[in-house]
Chain A
Amino acid sequence: GNSVTQMEGPVTLSEEAFLTINCTYTATGYPSLFWYVQYPGEGLQLLLKATKADDKGSNKGFEATYRKETTSFHLEKGSVQVSDSAVYFCALSPLYNQGGKLIFGQGTELSVKP
């Protein structure tokens, strides 16, 4: 079946550090992949997406590359800020998706210290 696995948190970094949050998936064919961010007390917001192998999604300094060979979609940012503190969710939309459903990872909490 389809599934998403994220690295466990919480992840604590100092401001300006490099961020990597790992995400791997299991799916048939070529799913679409997404990263969402959830700030405290808010709903999830789409951060970036990729719809085919080798696509790179990017937004607000965050990047993730769709790697079919390693079934991964790791989230990276070169220099994190305190304002990046949030929970990050990796998700996939299966290739033959009935109902537009997404499969979410468990979420990774990021805390950035000044």
Chain B
Amino acid sequence: DAGITQSPRHKVTETGTPVTLRCHQTENHRYMYWYRQDPGHGLRLIHYSYGVKDTDKGEVSDGYSVSRSKTEDFLLTLESATSSQTSVYFCAISGQGPQPQHFGDGTRLSIL
């Protein structure tokens, strides 16, 4: 299995609070991704990174920011969480070229 660790695995927080999710990889892969998964919507890309300090927006980036200061870590931040951001968040990694992505086990985030 690809070495991907997401933390925390579960989190409950209140509307308006900041939240940071962490994705850590041990594969030295170039690309890292954050998705959210919601019933009826499948997987939707939030942000992705193609290298240290190189990131770009996905299809549902509003309300989220990311940072990648090291190859192995990709952080997703909700600056001021809202109930609509209650979801399961997945991190994924991939190498160069048309490679498959490998996924972490997800973070279940509930915002009350």
> Which residues of B are interface residues toward A (Cβ below 8 A)?
30-31, 33, 40-43, 45, 48, 50, 56, 58, 90, 92, 94-106
Contacts of A32 in B (CB 8 A): 98
Contact of B103 among A31, A45, A100 (CB under 8 A): A45
CB-CB contacts below 8 Å: A64-114 with B: 89, 93, 97, 99-102, 104-107
Interface footprint category on A: 20 to 34
Pairwise interchain contact B98-A101, C-beta atoms closer than 8 A = no
The A interface is mostly helix, strand or loop, or mixed, namely mixed
Contacts of B94 in A (CB 8 A): 100
Pairwise interchain contact A99-B104, C-beta atoms closer than 8 A = no
> Which residues of A are interface residues toward B (Cβ below 8 A)?
31-32, 34, 36, 42-46, 49, 51, 89, 93, 97, 99-102, 104-107
Pairwise interchain contact A89-B50, C-beta atoms closer than 8 A = no
Pairwise interchain contact B99-A100, C-beta atoms closer than 8 A = yes
Contacts of B48 in A (CB 8 A): 99-101
